[in-house]
Copies of this chain bind each other. A is one copy, B any other.
């Protein structure tokens, strides 16, 4: 039977909150750190501010993370999780032309990563990779490699189905990747202080890029010539 005493209820809530908090602390700190690292970069983010945004004291931060660097590592580890299996499945079961699949893939990336805070991680890794080789390597295996594989399969599907010209797939993935990652970088760096008239509208940017790319990739009437993208012997 629930207590009807309002004060007790409040006290219960407070206690509950506190108990929940204890476990949640590292998570709250990581969330706050993600936000701030994305907003201001690693060096410019002050430990105290992370603590404040997580609602704890400076000391507590260092209770859970030995140093700001360790916090940074934890943030990246926490946030580069396994979207890939989900996407793999989606793409695997996609019905329709590969051109449409590519359009869909890019839009999906923008909606789920590019336009969210998660894209800040990309920017962050690009910015700080050289200072954290260990993290960079980690990111390489956990994010970049799977991402490339995914995209390569999309392109392979196009080639296999005769929709795309044969191509050097290793470099082909960059045809799609580069414009997208550039957009993410831009959004978090120079895009924030762009001159008037230079702002990028992401939707239009993506449309233009993908349309052009598709024109470049699409199978052309046979000419007997070697594929354009083949690496010179």
Contacts and interface: CB of A to CB of B under 8 A. Distances in A.
A173 to B, nearest CB: 10
A211 B217 CA distance: 10
Given A44-B131, A131-B41, A212 B205 contact: no
Nearest to A39: B130
Contact of A204 (B41, B127, B183, B231): B231
A193 B129 contact: yes
Interface stretch (A12-20, A25-33, A95-103, A134-142): A134-142
Interface in A158-188: 167-168, 171-172, 174-175, 177-179, 181-183, 185-186, 188
Nearest to A44: B131
A190 B231 contact: no
A60 interface: no
Given A40-B130, A181-B182, 15 more contacts: A39-B130, A40-B131, A41-B43, A43-B131, A126-B189, A126-B190, A128-B189, A136-B190, A137-B193, A140-B195, A141-B195, A175-B212, A178-B183, A182-B182, A215-B216
A123 B181 CA distance: 13
User: Interface of chain A, helix or strand or loop or mixed?
Assistant: helix
A213 interface: yes
Interface in A204-231: 204-205, 207-209, 211-217, 228-229, 231
Given A216-B213, A216-B215, A192 B130 contact: yes
A188 B145 contact: no
A178 B140 CA distance: 21
Contact of A178 (B44, B209, B214): B209
